[in-house]
């Protein structure tokens, strides 16, 4: 399976005055899961930047909120690579309750571009990184559809 999951506990700092997770923090949770997803594949972002002069930047987000998370909840955040180009990737991410992953709290699509760190100009990802990402990409409909 190509879906990566990472568990995150909700702390006071993540909530508003009503002990409900502040909406922007779901993006932080997704960012943490993407970072751990890369680590799981052996990609260390600082080392990658030092060695290649490039880095990932978020270029687009779309998030839909379904229900709130609260103080002390344990969340399961997923990251799944859906599309890959030469200079960007698109991931589908979901935040759910860890004890009931069918209870979705938020879901989003995140597009991440590869840029030269010094100039922030878009550029192609290094071949080794593309190969690593390709091995972890979710199968497309054409690849999983058994019909001819």
DSSP assigned state of 68: -
Q: How confident is the model at residue 140 (pLDDT cuts 50, 70, 90)?
A: low
- Between CA 88 and CA 84, with CA 147 as vertex, the angle to 5 degrees is 5
Checking if the pLDDT of 144 tops 80, the result is no
Q: How confident is the model at residue 137 (pLDDT cuts 50, 70, 90)?
A: confident
Give 44-58 pLDDT, tens digit per residue. Answer: 999 999 999 999 999
Using alpha carbons, list the distances in angstroms from residue 31 to 8, 9, 78, 95, 142: 11, 14, 10, 11, 29
More confident residue, 142 or 8: 8
Give 8-46 pLDDT, tens digit per residue. Answer: 999 999 999 999 999 999 999 999 999 999 999 999 999
The catalytic residues are 16
Checking if the pLDDT of 87 tops 60, the result is yes
Half-sphere exposure of 132 (CA within 13 A, CB side): 14
Checking if the pLDDT of 2 tops 90, the result is no
Q: How far apart are CA 65 and CA 95, in angstroms?
A: 9
């Amino acid at each position: 399976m190509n879906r990566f999951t990472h568990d995150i506990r909700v702390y006071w700092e993540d909530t508003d005055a009503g002990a409900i997770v502040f909406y922007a923090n779901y993006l932080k949770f997704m960012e943490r899961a993407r970072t751990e997803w890369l680590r799981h594949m052996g990609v260390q972002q600082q080392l990658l930047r030092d060695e290649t002069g490039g880095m990932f930047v978020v270029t687009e987000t779309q998030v839909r909120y379904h229900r709130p998370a609260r103080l002390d909840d344990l969340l399961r955040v997923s990251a799944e690579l859906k599309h890959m180009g030469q200079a960007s990737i698109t991931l589908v991410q979901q935040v759910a309750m860890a004890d009931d992953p069918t209870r979705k709290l938020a879901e989003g699509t995140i597009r991440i571009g590869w840029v030269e760190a010094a100039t922030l100009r878009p550029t192609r990802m290094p071949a080794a990184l593309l190969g690593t990402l390709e091995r972890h990409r979710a199968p497309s409909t054409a690849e999983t559809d058994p019909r001819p």
